[in-house]
Copies of this chain bind each other. A is one copy, B any other.
């Protein structure tokens, strides 16, 4: 039975929920496929996550390995493949709570960076799980700055081998997933030395555990890095190498090669070695960020129409908390962001697919743009979404703080996305560097990638809005965002030039501008996201009410951004104080409008109860019953605590050795 407070929300949807779901899935046939996968996974008790919140790190790891291995059988039985269209639905259905995920990254590295011969040798072995791969890049003392890695690979001409070493503690590999207890092999990044000369960081395939008994190979020290904020199911590990010898053929050599005589040959940019990270950055946006954000919105919004607290009107029943403006203002902008990011992800995928085709043809021209975009949007989307999930958690009050709400795990997991695959500040500064370069080029009349031509087209004048309704015009707000992006980028370019002309060294000048360069890079990404949302809305079918509600969400996303970053819009008077009041008024009006469709809008994400794994977010809204029943299953309720006999009883009976 559905909680009537939740049921009533579904009666008044202004649009067809099923149609919106199909839109999000990219067509009704995808929805069908997704549901079939989810059904197959969820009916299988091996994949149950019901005990997840009660388990220790060791238990989580073991369950994740069990699932990963069992999944191989399941996929074979179902006819699903690693590269098939079902895979992303499998991952979604499992909520990523499965081991051996780095095996995929291991394979992707070899596919991208390996020669045809290497691919022919290693990919079948990996596909058949005759080995388990990991990917070892980050070191205890070195993360995002890859050139600083200290692991060495010295070429020994006499034996035609590379000798790998961890010269000191800070060079120990640290964090690689599946490394602590599972992997037998790893792609290891190390500084290549040939006859005393360093050629920079390169990838090498290294065996780390025996294929017979899983013992560590000679010269290998490896283990688990211990407890983390989340990812208990993953055995993130450490790895030390002591004179580990691997054959010359184990350096991935599609783009760089060491010949038998020690000659080093490079084809194309060395930066291609980092390309695996670019691909990972793009793919994580949907799987690790947008889907968790959608889940958090689903949980918090459903809970907010079931939870009643305090009275809006004297004498009436306590009100649903979603009827409070403050609660709407917490949750609905996050909902709008989930949609905005879903659409920007489509845009990035397209950009990436186009670029990747070029790279396969050894045309590296798009690499800087791809790098700048994957970096900037990875940073912007992860940061925004992390803070959005935290807002959802806090909006559920005490119950949000219970692990059984599902929200703490969503938060502690999504938070990592701000750090892994490139720390966000560093990434935004790389985007900023690209933007400054493009701005200088555009100003000098040189060609720039289409995504940044707007930098050259600075329009004079201020925001023309006359009343609050004008701010519901996409042209008005998109132009405001564009204006801000151009202003922030161009002022930083000017400041950099001024500083350098006044005698400050280039690198010092850069460092002195970085706080505001980060702001400029964010403004660019924000602008592109708003613009892409408006363009997506235009293309949506007008039937079934979908375009209309998406337009509201697009407006909300845009106006929320102006309201929350008022300073940059007011700074040069592009938007006046009076206009900011109009923005605020329109923004608050939109909250009340979208509130009516809030539940249908999260229903459209189409998460099953098992997938949400939340006492607060279930489709039926039986929140209190579920919390109570689930809590009773906690190991903390399974026995009389030994603490009573040992400590409390002597205390209460005053038989502690005489106080």
Contact = CB atoms under 8 A, between A and B. Distances in A.
Ranked nearest first, the 10 interchain pairs of A and B with the lowest CB-CB distance are: A566-B567, A226-B634, A227-B403, A229-B408, A226-B631, A224-B636, A65-B643, A145-B310, A570-B570, A69-B647
A318 B131 CA distance: 37
A430 B569 CA distance: 31
Contacts of A318: 145, 148
Nearest to A420: B398
Contact of A57 (B573, B635, B640): B635
Interface of A: 53-54, 56-58, 61-62, 65-66, 68-69, 72-73, 76, 99, 128-132, 138, 140-145, 148, 169-170, 172, 174-175, 180-182, 184, 211, 214, 223-229, 235, 238, 307-314, 318, 323-327, 329-330, 390, 393-394, 397-398, 400-404, 408, 412, 415-416, 418-420, 423-426, 429, 505, 507-508, 511-516, 518, 565-573, 577, 580, 584, 588, 624-625, 627-628, 630-637, 640-644, 646-652, 654, 656-657, 659
Given A397-B419, A515-B588, A636-B58, A140 B628 contact: yes
A226 B397 CA distance: 16
A67 to B, nearest CB: 9
Contact of A515 (B142, B311, B325): B325
Contacts of A656: 69, 72-73
B425 A326 contact: yes
A397 B416 contact: no
A577 B515 CA distance: 18
Contacts of A423: 397
Nearest to A138: B398
30 contacts: A57-B635, A62-B643, A65-B641, A65-B643, A65-B648, A73-B657, A76-B659, A128-B654, A141-B308, A141-B624, A170-B624, A172-B628, A181-B644, A182-B643, A223-B632, A224-B636, A225-B631, A226-B402, A226-B403, A226-B404, A229-B401, A229-B412, A238-B631, A310-B426, A312-B511, A325-B512, A398-B420, A400-B419, A401-B415, A566-B571
Among A224, A226, A633, the one with the most B-chain Cβ atoms within 10 Å of its Cβ is A226
A143 B309 contact: yes
Contacts of A128: 654
Copies of this chain in its oligomeric complex: 2
A70 to B, nearest CB: 8
B211 A652 contact: yes
A140 B624 contact: yes
A567 B588 contact: no
Contacts of A425: 326-327, 330
A28 B146 CA distance: 48
A580 B519 CA distance: 15
Contacts of A143: 309, 397-398
A76 B658 CA distance: 10
A58 B641 contact: yes
B652 A131 contact: yes
A224 B325 contact: no
A398 B138 CA distance: 10
Contacts of A327: 425
B172 A62 contact: no
Given A140-B627, A425-B326, A310 B61 contact: no
Given A66-B643, A68-B647, A130-B652, 5 more contacts: A140-B624, A148-B318, A238-B628, A325-B513, A326-B518
Contacts of A568: 566
Contact of A642 (B62, B184, B393, B514): B62
Contact of A644 (B214, B224, B397): B214
A72 to B, nearest CB: 7
A512 B398 contact: no
Contact of A659 (B72, B169, B505, B577): B72
Given A69-B651, A515-B326, A631-B225, A419 B403 contact: no
B648 A214 contact: yes
Contacts of A324: 511, 514
A640 B182 CA distance: 10
A402 B66 contact: no
A53 B648 contact: no
Contact of A636 (B99, B180, B514, B633): B180
Contacts of A588: 512, 515
A492 to B, nearest CB: 12
A567 B573 CA distance: 11
Contacts of A403: 226-229
B641 A62 contact: yes
Contacts of A132: 648, 651-652
